[in-house]
Amino acid sequence: MNMEDNINKMQKYYRGENPRELSSLVLAYIGDAVYEMLVRVHVLSFGNAPVNKLHRKSSTIVKAQAQKETYLKIEELLTEEEQAVFKRGRNAKSNTVPKNADLMDYKFATGFEAVFGYLYLKGEVDRLNYLFNEGVINEKGN
């Protein structure tokens, strides 16, 4: 079973509202988990390694600054709808303050995660994989 099949299986558990009607922070909450899973599977694709080494590699990709950089690489690939989701996420007022991140990087990361959450809840797995591949795999050569 490939990652796309796994994402499709997980997505079937969501039977809630239209993703357009969810708050951008809820979309970012789901998007954070989806993006983290994609990154972990990607890092694991390099082969078996000690967990702390896998974690360090994943952390360099999922940290707020890296998510902002990835967003900037895929920005022109986003549809108008995806751009609108990103902007809602970026501009959302969060009650949390980033510990180890610049505030603007954190806001970009929130918008970026909102896009991933939105696409996941819409069931657009091919689109998720495409954006992930273009932003992380193809551009960074990881």
Catalytic positions, written as ranges: 32
Contact 128, 38 (CB under 8 A): yes
Q: Which of 104, 132, 109 has its CA nearest to residue 42?
A: 132
Question: Is 96 buried (19+), middle (13-18) or exposed (0-12) by CB count in 10 A?
Answer: exposed
Q: In 3-state terms, what secondary structure has residue 121?
A: helix
CB contact set of 110 (below 8 Å; sequence gap of 6+):
24, 25, 28, 89, 90, 92, 94
